[in-house]
Amino acid sequence: MKHRDLCMILAMHRPLPLVFVLLLSFSSFAYSENLAKEVKKAAERSTLDQPGTAPFHLKATIAPSFERDKNSGRTGEVEIWWASPTQWKRELRCPQFHRVEIENGATHWEKNEGDYFPEWLREIALEVVQPIPPLAEVLEQVKTAEGSAMGPMINIDWVTNTGTAEVHNIRRSVVAIKNDTGLLLYADGFGWDGQFKNYTKFHGRMIPLTVSSGSPEVTAKITLEDLSKSDSASFDIPTAPGDAQPLRTVLIDETTLRKNLLPMDPISWPPLRDGPLQGNFTTYVVVDREGKVRDIGTLVAENQGVYETGAHAVQSMRFKAFVVDGVPVQVYSQITVPFNVVRPAASESFGSAQSFFERGRNAGFPYAGQKTPYILRAEFEAASNDGSVEKGRYEDTWLSETQWRREAWFAKSHYVRSRNGEKTYQFAEGNDSGTLRVAFRILEPIPAPDTFQEGDWRMKRDTLNGVNSIRVLTGYESPEGQLDPEQVRAFWFDESGLLLKTYFKGIETQRSEFVDFNGVRIAHRIDVRKDNKLAMRIRVTEVQAASAISDKTFEVPHHEWKRVFTDEAR
């Protein structure tokens, strides 16, 4: 899976560091066949190597996108001289591989140095000229895909069933288009993946000069110019012979991949203290022409504890060589491995993360606990978009799971989420509506049950301000206990199930001053800190039973909304 499979968008608003991933809300997008037309138009506007494109010379310098991946070895260059679809030259270079290929009319010449074509180089070299390589296939999927308006863009995503008859799996694909320009923001599918920025005009085309791809991610910085007359000799076929057999990568399904899998020793899975005992480990795999696994992709499993063993097992797999038209080829595919583990002897079992989440929801949040109709009011202080500290207020009116309204005001902004029967609504106005979304999320931070992988979470006992608690955490924690602010998300619950603290993206909230309301203990004070500095304080000022309320209270005409790409329960 690529990082965009998470389906989350980061958003940072200048004075307040609290508007972050998952705190945006998204409106539903009414699908029509025009969506496929927009994708087709966007892709064709930015595809270089197609009939009608003016001759060009392109050079891309490739390097890891992030400092943490600087030692990944993923550096290189792509250079292309292109006159037409039947006359071009392309040179690819990285520390382990070098390729020159020339197409001149009916003659194709290719020379490779290195026995393995790195998949990351293949994909980025493709993306700099073809943002959506299998365009016809993608357009068929878009016709029935889910489309949603997400702030300044339209996001289209779909799921393809994969795996084998014995082990089911899925593959996610996505395309996003910017509303105001109609240009691609990102596109991700099987064997292709790109993010596109810094567009420039080129003879009627709109070409991104910054393209990112892969995991670990690399970024190509591109220069693009007209093909000069002096470059015409680039298409001459060298007198020296090229490779007798071309070096190709073929995308295949998992069933086809497994037909060539040679017998292997049973996998010895480690005993695991946390997470599900059974599930699937899956990743993408590149197999070279000799049947050796040369690279694997991002690891995905219901239990993170199997990652190391699963990765080693996949890397140790051997295959019969894959042959197409009598020539051995590299292959790229998905691989799924079932796991079955046990608990360590005498280890403490905490159960599932979901059990902690549901227990915490029922213990401390009135909409999930005793389900008594109520009205809850709160006040808060935070920095507004102009930098001044302003007061805001929040109101939650709840009659039942199908009739509720959450509403907040801050500065000159207003935000509402509501439900009346089968209809849900959302309304936002004002420059500080993002701050109100933050307040919504802080007041109800526990993720909905259908939005997380159980195996991503780990539990352990902890002490919080002298209170015995259990921490439920996902993401990287150093051996010294340092939490990675870019990855970690954590919740601390006391032994009765009350949520005491949360941590996400470096933002910490502490909940205190619990007051009983019909068996639910509601935190009346929530402090929000960033870098140990108080960024927001929310105080619940009133909780009272609700009497008869008109159905119209729960309607927001002309603002119907479908919940997508957020893990908030309401």
CATH of the domain at 545: 2.50.20.10
Both 480 and 549 in one domain: the answer is yes
Both 364 and 478 in one domain: the answer is yes
In angstroms, how far is CA 435 from the centroid of its own chain? 23
CB 461 within 8 A of CB 491: no
pLDDT at 92: 98
Both 217 and 111 in one domain: the answer is yes
Tell me the pLDDT tens digit for each residue of 56-95: 999 999 999 999 899 999 999 999 999 999 999 999 999 9
Both 360 and 477 in one domain: the answer is yes
> Is 6 part of a structural domain of the chain?
no
Per-residue pLDDT tens listing for the chain (570 residues): 343 333 332 222 223 333 333 333 333 343 445 889 999 999 999 999 999 999 999 999 999 999 989 999 999 999 999 999 999 999 999 999 999 999 999 999 999 999 999 999 999 999 999 999 999 999 999 988 877 776 688 889 898 999 888 888 888 899 999 989 999 999 999 999 999 999 999 999 999 999 999 999 999 999 999 999 877 778 999 999 999 999 999 999 999 999 999 999 999 999 987 777 888 999 999 999 999 999 999 998 888 889 999 999 999 999 999 999 999 999 999 999 999 998 887 767 777 899 999 999 999 999 997 778 999 999 999 888 888 889 999 999 999 999 999 999 999 999 999 999 999 999 999 989 989 999 999 999 999 988 888 878 888 899 999 999 999 999 888 778 888 888 899 999 999 999 999 999 889 999 999 999 999 999 999 999 998 899 999 999 999 999 889 999 999 999 998 887 788 999
**In this structure, what CATH number is given to the domain that contains residue 124?**
2.50.20
Both 185 and 255 in one domain: the answer is no
Burial of residue 267 (number of CB atoms within 10 Å: 0-12, 13-18, 19+): middle
Burial of residue 104 (number of CB atoms within 10 Å: 0-12, 13-18, 19+): middle
Both 455 and 323 in one domain: the answer is no
Domain that holds residue 511: 353-554
Both 49 and 170 in one domain: the answer is yes
Q: Any residues with CB less than 8 A from the CB of 453 and at least 6 apart, and which?
A: 300, 302
Spatial separation of the C-alpha atoms in residues 79 and 91, rounded to whole Å: 5
> Is 21 part of a structural domain of the chain?
no
Domain boundary (310, 340, 370) is at 340
Which tokens sit at 96?
């382990």
pLDDT at 151: 67
Count other C-beta atoms under 10 Å from residue 505's C-beta. Answer: 18
Q: What DSSP element (H or E) covers 381?
A: strand 374-383
Spatial separation of the C-alpha atoms in residues 263 and 451, rounded to whole Å: 37
pLDDT at 386: 81
Which tokens sit at 291?
């049947």
Helix, strand, coil percent content, the chain, rounded in steps of 5: 15, 45, 40
pLDDT at 566: 83
Write b or e for each residue in 452-462: b if 16 or more Cβ atoms lie within 10 A of its Cβ, otherwise e. Answer: bbbbbbbbeeb
Q: Is the peptide bond before 216 cis (omega within 30 degrees of 0)?
A: yes
Domain boundary (340, 364, 387) is at 340
Both 228 and 255 in one domain: the answer is no
Spatial separation of the C-alpha atoms in residues 397 and 376, rounded to whole Å: 7
**In this structure, what CATH number is given to the domain that contains residue 334?**
3.30.1150.10
pLDDT at 142: 92
Q: Give the HSE-up count for residue 499: Cα atoms under 13 Å, Cβ half-sphere.
A: 33
CB 280 within 8 A of CB 339: yes
> Is 455 part of a structural domain of the chain?
yes
Beta strand residue intervals within 265-388, DSSP E: 278-287, 293-296, 300-301, 322-324, 327-340, 374-383
| Distance linking the first and last C-alpha atoms of the chain | 27
Spatial separation of the C-alpha atoms in residues 281 and 4, rounded to whole Å: 19
Both 455 and 429 in one domain: the answer is yes
Both 370 and 323 in one domain: the answer is no
Domain boundary (340, 366, 381) is at 340
Domain count, the chain: 3
* DSSP labels, 321-345: PEEETTEEEEEEEEEEEEEE--PPT
Both 276 and 422 in one domain: the answer is no
Task: Say which amino acid occupies 470.
Answer: I
Spatial separation of the C-alpha atoms in residues 156 and 177, rounded to whole Å: 9
> Is 348 part of a structural domain of the chain?
no
Count other C-beta atoms under 10 Å from residue 65's C-beta. Answer: 19
pLDDT at 292: 98
> Is 17 part of a structural domain of the chain?
no
Both 393 and 490 in one domain: the answer is yes
3-state secondary structure of 454: helix
pLDDT at 148: 76
Q: What DSSP element (H or E) covers 126?
A: helix 119-127
Spatial separation of the C-alpha atoms in residues 485 and 488, rounded to whole Å: 6
> Is 3 part of a structural domain of the chain?
no
Task: Say which amino acid occupies 489.
Answer: R
> Is 257 part of a structural domain of the chain?
yes
> Is 569 part of a structural domain of the chain?
no
